Amino acid sequence: MDENKSEVLVNERQLVIPGDVLARGLDFLPSTGCYRSDNEIKTKLLGLARIKDRFIGVVPLSGVYVPRQGDGIIGIVQDLQSTFWIIDINSPYDAILQLGEATGEYVDLSKTDISVYYDVGDVIYAKVNTVAKSKNITLTMNDYRAKKLVGGKIVKITPFKVPRLIGKEGSMIELIKGKTNCQIIVGQNGVVWIKGDNVGLAAKAVKIIEKDSHTSGLTDKITKILEGE
């Protein structure tokens, strides 16, 4: 092997663990989560390899949403093709919503632009339909909760804090809804949609719960904040 040859040893979004060699040679530069060791670029993190021009980096998996079949998520339409939409699901992986999973009606594609259903920038609540080993993700709107979310504000939290935000049997999220007169939908991917009379206060409560999720007396604290303003 030519030790002077520069080469990338991983694929884009490949799972890597600390110490893995991602590239060799001086033609590449370490980016986020990576370091140079002699002639090699190695990762410091468990995550997904990212390759951009000459830079080799890693997106850490800690705190990142990893899709699971059946999850209810909030996504944003990033792009659309003739028969499907590409959805940002707040994950290292994009998702695909096929036309057949978006509507139960027959669509004549020679006469219909699918943007009449969902267009770039639209926010949707959908269900994760399939998760392939290659991390190809598909979504479905074939669920009673699935719909387009019109207006409102998007707030993002760390996905593993979602159960604390929802609370036991929905108690915490219902508290915020009741005190702010807001509609609130929480995606398992850490995306929260808020719409109503006091969106700012509701969003503030959501972020405090994320920050203080492991502290005791959190319900009392949130109640005081919601009632004090």
Inform me whether the pLDDT recorded for 229 exceeds 60: no
Is 67 among the domain residues? Answer: no
What local confidence, expressed as pLDDT, does residue 60 receive?
79
Query: Number of folded domains in the chain?
Result: 3
Q: What is the pLDDT of residues 137-193, one digit of tens each?
A: 999 999 999 999 999 999 999 998 999 999 999 999 999 999 999 999 999 999 999
Q: Residue 105: CB partners within 8 Å, gap ≥ 6?
A: none
Q: Which amino acid is at 217?
A: G
Contact indicator for 124, 101 with CB cutoff of 8 Å: no
Is 170 among the domain residues? Answer: yes
Instruction: Give the mean pLDDT of 120-133.
Output: 95
The domain spanning residue 50 has which CATH number? 2.40.50.100
What local confidence, expressed as pLDDT, does residue 2 receive?
56
Distance CA 199, CA 40 (A): 49
If we measure between CA atoms, which residue out of 51, 26, 54 comes closest to residue 40? Answer: 26
User: 164 and 145 share a domain?
Assistant: no
Distance CA 224, CA 53 (A): 50
Is 2 among the domain residues? Answer: no
Distance CA 121, CA 192 (A): 16
Is 66 among the domain residues? Answer: no
| Residues of the chain by 3-state class (helix, strand, coil), percent to 5 | 25, 35, 45
Q: What is the pLDDT of residues 36-85, one digit of tens each?
A: 999 999 999 888 899 988 999 998 776 788 899 999 999 999 999 999 99
User: 170 and 216 share a domain?
Assistant: yes
Q: Give me the residues paired with residue 76 across strands.
A: 88, 123
Q: Which range marks the domain in which residue 41 is found?
A: 7-60
pTM of the full structure: 0.74
User: 160 and 195 share a domain?
Assistant: yes
The domain spanning residue 81 has which CATH number? 2.40.50.140
> Six-digit token pair at 7?
């080469």
